């Protein structure tokens, strides 16, 4: 049942996931290290939603924090602990794990836990692209009146180490986890929101992990930077918007998030972990959850917002949301509205 993943697919998932992260979802170095660790425990078993029964319970694993945080720490034990603790909190067996989103480090969230605990990994991230808030990765559970979220967490080391379980309304539980990530040094592992397969089939980005792996393959079909970028743009049915040097780059860590903006020629990008808006001379070209992504112009490798620097030569691409595999939350205007006061730009009414 399912498909045993191999190391090369891990690499492709990291790079393809990075592109689909749209500026967030962790950094490539972290993703590659996590991938190698996962295969030390065996081969993750990737399964489709059709391999499970409608009533089977699946848990979502994720990382919460700011990519640029300097004191973050997570161990294999902590990643595994979150799933084990969740299982103890439930009265039904966990049949699979899934990730909350695609990203360099997040596409493979759960691969290590899958290998270590012999649990299948579901080819259905909560969202097919990265997003800033926990609620955006909760498959619209936030819209269920009276829903109580269960989230187990672990992260940090020495005096900063945290481990435990939070239960409450989805916004309160997610905000608490975000606060704990700051206290833990910038990052925590989370296992959260157990749901049945029937709910996942209606709300997750079905096939999103396979899509990330394929996109990684597409990236490496060429060796030259511009060819790689053009190949990705063609595969995603997107557009190459601009190339040039980064100017007026600003990044600030606010409450566990990276917030900032940058300019390339006449193009302005804003980000809240992920890129949120793309404008040319004040005219909106792309808006989250459209995919906006940056690439190193020379190598063609994707570059997340946390690794952008002044004068860096980059390319900017955009892909309409209609061309992406997305979870149901990406069409929830109430959740998308939360972006607006952070970046001081309209998201829902453009």
Q: In what helix (H) or strand (E) does residue 182 lie, and over which residues does it extend? A: helix 170-183
First-to-last C-alpha distance (Å) of the chain: 45
pLDDT at 97: 98
Which structure tokens are listed for 44?
Answer: 């993750």
CA–CA distance, 107 with 128 (Å, rounded to integer):
9
pLDDT at 255: 72
pLDDT at 243: 97
Q: In what helix (H) or strand (E) does residue 14 lie, and over which residues does it extend? A: helix 7-21
**Cα Rg, the chain, nearest whole Å:** 19
- 318, 290 Cβ separation under 8 angstroms: yes
Which residues, including other chains, have CB under 8 Å from residue 336's CB and lie 6 or more apart? 288, 289, 330, 347, 348
- 255, 50 Cβ separation under 8 angstroms: no
CA–CA distance, 169 with 157 (Å, rounded to integer):
28
pLDDT at 62: 87
pLDDT at 152: 97
- 107, 187 Cβ separation under 8 angstroms: no
Pairing status of strand 121-122 against strand 291-296 = unpaired
Q: Are 237 and 163 members of one domain?
A: no
- 86, 36 Cβ separation under 8 angstroms: no
Q: Are 69 and 198 members of one domain?
A: yes
pTM of this prediction? 0.92
CA–CA distance, 114 with 44 (Å, rounded to integer):
6
Q: What is the DSSP letter of 123?
A: S
Domain's final residue, options 154, 185, 209: 209
| pLDDT values of the chain reduced to their tens digit, one per residue, 350 residues | 789 999 999 999 999 999 999 999 989 998 999 999 999 999 999 999 999 999 999 999 988 876 566 788 989 999 999 999 999 999 999 999 999 999 999 999 999 999 999 999 999 999 999 999 878 989 999 899 999 999 999 999 999 999 999 999 988 998 899 899 989 998 899 999 999 999 999 999 999 999 999 999 999 999 999 999 999 999 999 999 999 999 999 988 877 688 999 999 999 999 999 999 999 999 999 999 999 999 999 999 999 998 999 999 999 999 999 999 999 999 999 999 999 999 999 999 76
CA–CA distance, 350 with 35 (Å, rounded to integer):
39
Q: Are 173 and 253 members of one domain?
A: no
In a domain, residue 350? The reply is no
Instruction: Show the CA angle centred on residue 120, arms to residues 119 and 126, nearest 5°.
Output: 115
Q: Number of folded domains in the chain?
A: 2
Task: Convert 149-180 to b/e letters by CB count within 10 Å (16 or more is b).
Answer: bbbbbbbbeeeebbbebbeeebeebbbbbbeb
- Residues spanned by the domain of 142: 3-209
- 215, 19 Cβ separation under 8 angstroms: yes
pLDDT at 171: 85
Residue 68 sits in a domain whose CATH number is 3.40.1610.10
- 64, 190 Cβ separation under 8 angstroms: yes
Q: In what helix (H) or strand (E) does residue 40 lie, and over which residues does it extend? A: helix 28-40
Q: How far is CA 261 from CA 171, 175, 242, 344, in A?
A: 26, 24, 16, 11
- 5, 44 Cβ separation under 8 angstroms: yes
Q: Are 152 and 271 members of one domain?
A: no
Tell me which residue of 117, 115, 52, 108 sits closest to 87, measured CA to CA: 117
Domain's final residue, options 185, 209, 233: 209
Which residues, including other chains, have CB under 8 Å from residue 233's CB and lie 6 or more apart? 239, 240, 317, 319
Q: Are 177 and 305 members of one domain?
A: no
In a domain, residue 216? The reply is no
Q: Are 182 and 318 members of one domain?
A: no
pLDDT at 156: 95
């Amino acid at each position: 049942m399912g498909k045993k993943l191999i190391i090369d697919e891990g690499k492709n998932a990291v790079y393809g996931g990075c592109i689909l992260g749209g500026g967030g979802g962790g950094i490539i170095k972290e993703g590659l290290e996590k991938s190698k660790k996962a295969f030390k425990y065996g081969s993750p078993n990737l399964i489709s939603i059709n391999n499970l029964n409608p009533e089977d319970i699946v848990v979502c694993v994720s990382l919460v924090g700011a990519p640029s945080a300097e004191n973050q720490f997570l161990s294999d034990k902590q990643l595994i602990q979150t799933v084990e603790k969740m299982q103890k909190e439930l009265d039904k067996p966990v049949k699979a794990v899934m990730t909350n989103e695609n990203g360099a480090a997040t596409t493979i969230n759960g691969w290590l836990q899958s290998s270590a605990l012999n649990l299948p990994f579901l080819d259905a991230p909560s969202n097919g692209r990265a997003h800033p808030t926990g609620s955006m990765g909760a498959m619209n559970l936030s819209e269920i009146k009276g829903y109580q979220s269960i989230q187990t967490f672990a992260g940090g080391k020495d005096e900063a180490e945290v481990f435990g379980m939070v239960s409450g309304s989805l916004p309160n539980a997610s905000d608490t986890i975000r606060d704990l990530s700051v206290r833990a040094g910038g990052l925590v592992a989370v296992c959260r929101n157990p749901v049945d397969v029937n709910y996942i089939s209606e709300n997750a980005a079905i096939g999103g992990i396979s899509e990330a792996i394929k996109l990684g393959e597409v990236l490496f079909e060429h060796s030259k930077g511009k060819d790689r970028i053009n190949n990705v743009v063609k595969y995603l049915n997107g557009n190459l918007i601009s190339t040039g040097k980064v100017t007026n780059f600003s990044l600030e860590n606010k409450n566990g998030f990276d917030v900032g903006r940058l300019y390339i020629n006449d193009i302005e990008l804003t980000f809240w972990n992920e890129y949120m808006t793309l404008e040319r001379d004040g005219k909106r070209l792309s808006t989250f959850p459209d995919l906006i992504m940056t690439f190193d112009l020379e190598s063609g490798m994707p570059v997340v917002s946390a690794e952008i620097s002044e004068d860096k030569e980059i390319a900017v691409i955009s892909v309409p949301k209609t061309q992406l595999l997305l979870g149901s939350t990406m069409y929830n205007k109430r959740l998308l509205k939360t972006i607006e006061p952070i970046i001081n730009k309209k998201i829902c009414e453009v």
